[in-house]
Amino acid sequence: MNTQDFIYKTPQLLPDLGSYRAEAPSNIALVKYWGKYGEQLPKNTSISYTLDNCKTKTEVVLKKRIEADDQFHFEVYLDGELKPAFKSKIETFLKRIETYTPFLKSFEFEIHTKNTFPHSSGIASSASGMAALSKCFMAMENSVKPELTDEFISKKTSFLARLGSGSACRSTGGKLVVWGKHQDIEGSSSFFGIDYPYEVHANFRAFQDSILLIDEGQKQVSSSIGHDLMHGHPFAEQRFQQADDNISKLKSILSSGNFDEFFALVESEALSLHAMMMTSSPYFILMKPNTLEVINKIWELRKSEGVQVGFTLDAGANVHLLYPNASSARVRKFINEDLIQFCQGEKVIHDQIQF
Ligand code: PMV
């Protein structure tokens, strides 16, 4: 499928007034995306687990037909409250996708959105948010073009979401999603995410992700600034190569079911992402002292009891504790007895990946 195929070539076809709803989950990357070029294209391939519980639910209401001009006429509401501050990011997104969704300019519309996780929790809602919004736009297109195939809808939804927030293209479908063209992953593309196309060992198909909220504050560095700092970064090329090599390594781990190799790779990915921020110019440390306390406790538990558990991090201080269902009882006890003291307000969000 060519990305030219995603252009909306019949602008005279407009969806009906009314409500279009969708929901999309959050995702957690095992091999991280950090660095982009062109229009939101990734410098390396990434792969993520799709979470079951952390979701954004969105409704777009087309309220009134208008004569299209060079503006978008919309308002954004979070939990029923008008949020003018959210408009500019969404407007940038709408401009980027204009040739793919030209009908939006012919309406006054409202975007109503809510998350199943607390907005201030430090969990990025941009991936699930942009994914849910893209699904609403595709529902509009599908309503006037019922002949669209499922394959087209899923690829174009992910394609649109990518233009909102890169990692959002891994939140529009599938449980283990790859984004970025890679020689070892058939069908992979830098334009949209695809469902991981190979067999996954049962060990990795029933996993828990307990998100330890170390710091609920605003992120110090937005991901767009972070991606930009990879331009001219002294270790950028090595990092992109490392990530692409890790995709190949992870492919064989996912098939063999080896937990030790899995955690070694996933933890190294998380620390490499943070190493990039610590060595950029300007430099940042996004981990907090409690992030390191938690990491050391995880390593101690693994060493002393051989429990299958590991961690990953996003571009922030929170720790995602990853473990197979079989380790659940021990890890839940570990969280309650040894880790909860390091979480702000003792907050933990338990999520899971099952497929
Ligand atoms: O989608 P963005 O531009 O917010 O970038 C997110 C990047 C990380 O979350 C840090 C890593 C990833 O692959 O999800």
User: Mean pLDDT across the stretch 216-229?
Assistant: 83
Domain end position, chosen among 153, 169, 195: 195
Q: In three state form, how does the secondary structure of 216-231 look? A: CCCCCCCHHHHHHCCC
pLDDT at 282: 95
Query: What is the residue range of 52's domain?
Result: 3-195
> Considering its fold, how many domains does the chain have in total?
2
Domain end position, chosen among 195, 221, 243: 195
Residues 159 and 267 in one domain: no
User: Mean pLDDT across the stretch 102-129?
Assistant: 88
Relative to the CA of 314, which ligand 1 atom is closest? Answer: 10
Cite the DSSP H helix spans in the chain: 87-96, 126-144, 150-164, 223-228, 236-256, 259-278, 289-305, 328-334
DSSP structure class, residue 306: -
Relative to the CA of 46, which ligand 1 atom is closest? Answer: 13
How far apart CA 211 and CA 209 sit, in angstroms, is 6
Residues 269 and 335 in one domain: yes
- Statement: the pTM of the whole predicted model exceeds 0.85: yes
Residues 184 and 274 in one domain: no
Residues 52 and 124 in one domain: yes
Residues 309 and 185 in one domain: no
Q: Which two tokens stand for residue 283?
A: 């430099």
How far apart CA 157 and CA 140 sit, in angstroms, is 12
Provide the pLDDT confidence category of residue 221 given band limits of 50, 70 and 90. confident
In the reported structure, the alpha carbon of residue 126 is separated from the centroid of ligand 1 by a whole-number distance in angstroms of 9
In the reported structure, the alpha carbon of residue 193 is separated from the centroid of ligand 1 by a whole-number distance in angstroms of 13
Relative to the CA of 227, which ligand 1 atom is closest? Answer: 3
For residue 197, whether the previous peptide bond is cis, meaning omega lies within 30 degrees of 0, is no
Residues 18 and 151 in one domain: yes
Domain end position, chosen among 167, 195, 223: 195
Alpha-carbon separation of residue 24 from 33, 300, 340 (angstroms): 19, 36, 28
**Residues contacting 272, CB < 8 A, separation 6+:** 32, 239, 242, 243
Q: Which of 30, 314, 319 to mutate to test the pocket of ligand 1 (most atoms within 8 A of CB)?
A: 314
Residue pLDDT, tens place only, 65-97: 999 999 999 999 999 999 999 999 999 999 999
Provide the CATH number for the domain around residue 229. Answer: 3.30.70.890
pLDDT at 120 over 80: no
With a 6 Å cutoff on the Cβ, whether 164 touches ligand 1 is: no
Residues 162 and 252 in one domain: no
User: Mean pLDDT across the stretch 107-126?
Assistant: 84
CB 277 within 8 A of CB 221: yes
User: Mean pLDDT across the stretch 173-192?
Assistant: 98
Amino acid, single-letter form, for residue 199 = E
pLDDT at 330: 98
**Number of C-beta neighbours around residue 268 at 10 A:** 14
pLDDT at 219 over 70: no
Cite the DSSP H helix spans in 145-229: 150-164, 223-228
Mean pLDDT of the chain: 96
pLDDT at 118: 75
How far apart CA 179 and CA 169 sit, in angstroms, is 7
With a 6 Å cutoff on the Cβ, whether 169 touches ligand 1 is: no
Owner of token pair 């060493």? 303
In the reported structure, the alpha carbon of residue 103 is separated from the centroid of ligand 1 by a whole-number distance in angstroms of 29
The full length of the chain comes to 355
With a 6 Å cutoff on the Cβ, whether 189 touches ligand 1 is: no
pLDDT at 125: 79
